[in-house]
Structure 1
Amino acid sequence: MEKFIDYILQFGNLNKQQIDLIRSKGAEIEICKDEYYWEAGKTVKQIGFLTDGVIRVFYYNNKGEEITRYFIDENHLILSGNTVDEVYTPSEYLSAITDCTLVVFTKKDWKEILDTIIGWDAIVQKIVTKHHSEKITRRSELISQDGTERYLDFIQKFPTLVNRVPLSYIASYLGITQSSLSRIRKNIR
């Protein structure tokens, strides 16, 4: 919980009562490697903040192949839908690549925090804007790069993930085959 509190305080000020309210509403959970945080087609009922571990966001294409969209690592908020009141049923899966620890809030408790703490919405919006900007930057460059450039860029942008994520997931994220990624890795050593 302290990692979450420390993180949100980078985006706005909260007094002791507000922090105590947040602490009282959140719960820490652990997800083991290969378990789902959420699954496509199942309604999401909570908001999460990843304090430890790596989660992969993926979907299945029309050929039944898993396609990795992106990775979520520490200090990322995992929201469900555009508003806390929205019933959100995702079309993708969030699966733990490593053992993970999250601080989670029910949508009801998140709404209570939102309704009680003046400025909470602004703090959350700053966090969402930061994460969205990071995601767009990471993905947009992949379109114009060849496989080697994509991998080198991945290493630069995700230095902590290279040794924590299986190569098959990295290859899927980069839009190349695992054998191509092995060749690229061999050539740049």
Structure 2
Amino acid sequence: MTEELINSIRQLTGLTESEIMEFISISKARDFQAKSYFIREGQIPNELGFVLTGLFRYVYISDEGKELTKVFMPEQSFISSYSSMISKKPSHFFIEAIEDSKVLTISYDCWEKLRKQNPKWNLLLVKLLEKGYSVKEKREREFLLLDAESRYRIFLNEFPKLESRVKQHMVASYLGITPIALSRIRKKMLA
């Protein structure tokens, strides 16, 4: 697990193994059971995490109780409500464990100290923000320009093993459709 983290960070930043081990030494591993939360809506987060094993999703809950899945975060993903953390304002979404998961967490204060001591860590932050922005921009484009079946085909193409790990209602909420509509699309594609 640690080796995957080291390789992920090294590929993004060029940091040495010893520099990455410093990050790991000030982090702690935490276990999350399925249906538990890394961050809850309304909470002011104070840590970020790296998913070692398991799967999470960012999910909004509407006033009517409808779930709206923003993104799925499998192994080797960094998770955080970063804008809430830096602004010290409550998160607008939950980060929910879909499976039993293990996350390496670091407090925001330790993260800031690490970045001040070694500016190479800023490159990791920039890379993560760039990736997040690119995902957000792509999702917006898909929602504005594509129909539900096209969005589902993209989902299957980009995340070929994910559908077997999540419930149908979660996939539907990610696509912005009802589970019934998703079922119809699946039947049509099989015909």
Structure 1 residues 70-79 or 99-108, which shifts more? 70-79
Question: Could you say which residue in structure 1 is the equivalent of 2:59?
Answer: 58
C-alpha separation in 2, matches of 1:14 and 1:150: 36
C-alpha separation in 2, matches of 1:57 and 1:130: 16
Structure showing the higher helix proportion among its residues? 2
C-alpha separation in 1, matches of 2:177 and 2:156: 15
Match for 1:160: what amino acid?
K
Offset at residue 62 of structure 1 (A): 3.1
Instruction: Specify every segment of 5 or more residues in structure 2 that has no aligned partner in the other structure, as ranges.
Output: none
Residue 186 to residue 89, structure 1, CA distance change in 2 (3 Å): same
Offset at residue 63 of structure 1 (A): 2.1
Question: Could you say which residue in structure 2 is the equivalent of 1:176?
Answer: 177
> What SS does structure 2 have at the residue aligned with 1:11?
helix
Tell me, yes or no, if structure 1 residue 129 matches structure 2 residue 134. no
Question: Could you say which residue in structure 2 is the equivalent of 1:95?
Answer: 96
> What SS does structure 1 have at the residue aligned with 2:149?
helix
> What SS does structure 2 have at the residue aligned with 1:33?
coil
State the 4+ residue runs in structure 1 displaced beyond 6 angstroms. none
How many residue pairs get aligned? The number is 189
CA RMSD of aligned residues (A): 1.9
> What SS does structure 1 have at the residue aligned with 2:82?
coil
Question: Could you say which residue in structure 1 is the equivalent of 2:13?
Answer: 12
TM-score by length of 2: 0.89
Instruction: Specify every segment of 5 or more residues in structure 1 that has no aligned partner in the other structure, as ranges.
Output: none
Deviation string, structure 1 residues 151-183 (Cα, Å, up to 9, x no partner): 111101111211111000111111111111111
Contact 2:28/2:104, CA 8 A, preserved across alignment: yes
Contact 1:80/1:88, CA 8 A, preserved across alignment: no
TM-score by length of 1: 0.90
Residue 15 to residue 47, structure 1, CA distance change in 2 (3 Å): same
Identity of aligned residues (%): 29
C-alpha separation in 2, matches of 1:36 and 1:110: 21
- The aligned runs of 1:20-31 (5 Å cut-off) are 20-31=21-32
